[in-house]
Amino acid sequence: MASTTSTEQSGLFPYLLPEFKKATGIDVKVVAVGTGQAIDMGRRGDADVLFVHDQVAEEKVVAEGFAIKRFPVMYNDFVLVGPAADPAKTKGKDIVEALKKLSAANADFVSRGDKSGTHAAELRYWKTAGIETPGDKPAFANYKACGCGMGPALNIAASSGGYVLADRGTWLSFKNRGDLVVLVEGDTKLFNQYGVMVVNPAKHPQTKVVEAQKFVDWVTSPAGQNVIAGYKIGGEQLFFPNAK
């Protein structure tokens, strides 16, 4: 399974996959990369199933015939995290206004810069804020793209006093917070949907389509959805099942 760093680094898979094995006897090997890289693995036939969070890219890979069908699985949300002192005065519920302030203040901002679902969402928010992103980077000097996963990006922000867009699941499981706090949350734009799909054996005959489909069927079934709902850290639920 090619999936995102957020599902791996939040601790969801170590909790979820043993339950799937118990139900089916099937082992799942996870390659956790950014969503863009995970989808590219599916295009190349280097994965059997994709579990990712960039709906536009997911629908495109289905339309191109590289995946069979996309199923919604669960959601959480993105949060803007930054230093408690909040020098750019971003705190509130409006992610677009917050990004305008970050750009105007030339604030230290750490971007994953890795074509992940989180990175794709961040670029959408800059665009909505009316801030150009030539080469996928806003033009203010203290914007840094690390080309890394969610955990490392949070580590860089924690050590440098920077701002970072994070998925809530990885943030809740992140131990090295320093003086980082959640500054922007609750904006409907920050909704973060995850989808799952089987790689198309018509394109890649080696796809383990039977086992992959069993995973999709299980994770979208009441049993799999209940396991997702039951994953909590400090009593707080990280992901919310919403399979159709």
Residue 244 has pLDDT above 90, yes or no: no
CB 165 within 8 A of CB 132: no
H or E element at residue 232? strand 232-233
Helix (H, G, I), strand (E, B) or coil at 219: helix
**Cα gap 65→68, rounded to integer Å:** 7
At residue 217, φ and ψ (nearest 5 deg) are: -60, -40
Question: What whole-number distance in Å separates Cα of residue 153 and Cα of residue 144?
Answer: 10
DSSP readout, 3-40?
Answer: EEHHHHHTTHHHHHHHHHHHHH------EEE-HHHHHH
Q: What is the pLDDT of residues 51-104, one digit of tens each?
A: 999 999 999 999 999 999 999 999 999 999 999 999 999 999 999 999 999 999
Average pLDDT, the chain: 97
Question: For residue 193, how far is the Cα from the chain centroid?
Answer: 9
Nearest by Cα to 228 from 212, 239, 220, 217 = 239
Q: What confidence tens digit (pLDDT) does each residue in 102-158 have?
A: 999 999 999 999 999 999 999 999 999 999 999 999 999 999 999 999 999 999 999
Q: What is the pLDDT of residue 184?
A: 98
Q: What is the pTM of this model?
A: 0.91
- Please choose, from the candidates 122, 113, 135, the residue with its C-alpha nearest in 3D space to the C-alpha of residue 95: 122
Three-state helix/strand/coil letters over 104-145 = HCCCCEEECCCCCHHHHHHHHHHHHCCCCCHHHCCCCCCEEE
